Amino acid sequence: MTDERDLDGVPRVAAFKTVAAFKAHLASLPIPLDCDDAVLPPRKNPLGKPVTIYGRIVGNRFATHPMEGWDGTPDGKPTDLVLRRWTHFGVSGAKLIWGGEAVAVRHDGRANPNQLCYTKDNERALATLLSALKAAHRERCGTTDDLFAGLQLTHSGRYSRPDPDNTPRPRIAYRHPILDPRLGIVDDGPVFTDTELEGLIPDYVAAARFAAGAGYDFVDVKCCHGYLLHELLSAHTRPGPYGGSFENRTRLFREIVAAIRRDVPGLHLGVRLSSFDLVPFAHPGPNQGTRGVPIDFRPHLPWRYAFGNNPDNPLEIDLTEPIAFLRLCRDLGVTLANFTAACPYYNPHLMRPATFPPSDGYPPPEDPLIGCARLLDVAARLKRAVPEITVVGTGYTYLQEYLPHVAQAQVRLGRVDLVGLGRMLLSYPELPHHVLTGRPLDRKRICRTFSECTTAPRNHMVSGCFPLDPFYKARPEAEAVKALKKKAGR
């Protein structure tokens, strides 16, 4: 499955036969990316060093990113597929479990009709996920004393699609000139009122109370990927107490944090943050070349629809507000953050660099390694600006063979505290364990970023690694995904 040809002039990572060759290519990129020459043996490897989070010793520097599978039951309970994924998170050997996957705090906030959803009825079923993960982890690693596991809580806002008819039912923070037409939004009907936003707070608290009771160490008040709490951070044009000023745009987040603190004392909090954004991207038009391009934002300047970018030049990152947000988090005592970026629906190349786009994507606008470098660079800049925050980084899967070398360098240099892995764990869940025990990587299982884990759900199928995981390869969806790829000419 390893394809080593260039794609549109961009060399594949698998084509670099030595670290030196890989590093020579990195040196040609516009954003520097530190990479170690060799992976150190287990006892010397900084990735194996414990880290203290909220006073707890966490056993190593690997984290699992939340990865949903579009594979819950219609009423939001886990299925065997969900259980299998969480068991793999446990088997990975990573000692920080960031959220497992997005769990909607109530029905209208589900991003798809099979997303997990917190309800009283679902408590018992949702609790089994953590116990299965812990049992698998204990069997692999001997102990869960140094495991730190959270549950990711979300309302999908603009990207809500909660019902079995799979129709978008967006609930938005403000009207958006580009994204509204894409979702068929034609009036203010889907805009959350202030009272409705306040009404979400008890839902977050109820889910957090459940999480604490089920033994989760923390909940992630998710502020990323274009979902509601992320969209609110850019609600410059929204009138009233939840829009306009930085104070107003962070109000709901602060209120949720305060309510959880008040009603669920002892439960720790984390935040997964889209730490920068640009404008939406699209397929190139005639005479625009072969790569994805930013939409024409000029009629909409200043660009008031993003968090962490320059409104006068929205192709430029501006970390002023993300840094202010992290200082706010620190002052609220939320000192655990996971930095991702942007939004999987309108500019996925920024948050999960890939060789191939998903079926609703566009060809990569840049060498995906630039995407990795950008994510790692932003994480390091934010860490430097607010060092009290324990930082989990995103953007490592595309590094493939050289993931351990780059991860080790980032932790060794203090640019990040923990390295988070997403897609890699779908194809090769044991990768962290193999790195930490000094085993060579199993190259056949390295994620080559075919994006089939996204193409499948975009076409209403369950997610999984169809190209590399024999379990998913054997499922009927694998054929359907192949057919979709063929149709798209890949």
Q: Give the residues lining the site for ligand FMN (CB under 6 A).
A: 65-68, 101-102, 152, 224-225, 272, 340, 351-352, 394-398, 421-424, 453-454, 463
CB of 102 to ligand FMN, least distance (A): 3
Q: 153 with 201: CB under 8 angstroms?
A: no
C-beta closer to ligand FMN: residue 314 or 422? 422
C-beta closer to ligand FMN: residue 185 or 336? 336
C-beta closer to ligand FMN: residue 113 or 395? 395
| CA gap 303, 312 in Å, rounded | 6
Residues 6+ positions from 8 with CB-CB distance below 8 Å: 290, 291, 363, 364
Task: Please list, residue by residue across 92-125, b when 16 or more beta carbons sit within 10 angstroms of its beta carbon and e when fewer do.
Answer: bbbbbbbbbbbbbbbbbbbbbbbbbbbbeebbeb
C-beta closer to ligand FMN: residue 356 or 396? 396
267 secondary structure, DSSP code: -
CB of 421 to ligand FMN, least distance (A): 5
CB of 68 to ligand FMN, least distance (A): 4
| CA gap 374, 260 in Å, rounded | 33
CB of 195 to ligand FMN, least distance (A): 28
CB of 431 to ligand FMN, least distance (A): 11
C-beta closer to ligand FMN: residue 275 or 340? 340
C-beta closer to ligand FMN: residue 198 or 377? 377
CB of 286 to ligand FMN, least distance (A): 31
| CA gap 8, 72 in Å, rounded | 38
Q: How many CA atoms lie within 13 A of 306 on its CB side?
A: 31
Residue nearest to ligand FMN (CB): 422
Q: 28 with 21: CB under 8 angstroms?
A: no
C-beta closer to ligand FMN: residue 114 or 397? 397
Q: Environment class of residue 168 by beta-carbon count within 10 Å: exposed (0-12), middle (13-18) or buried (19+)?
A: middle
CB of 115 to ligand FMN, least distance (A): 8
* 151 strand-pairing partners: 219
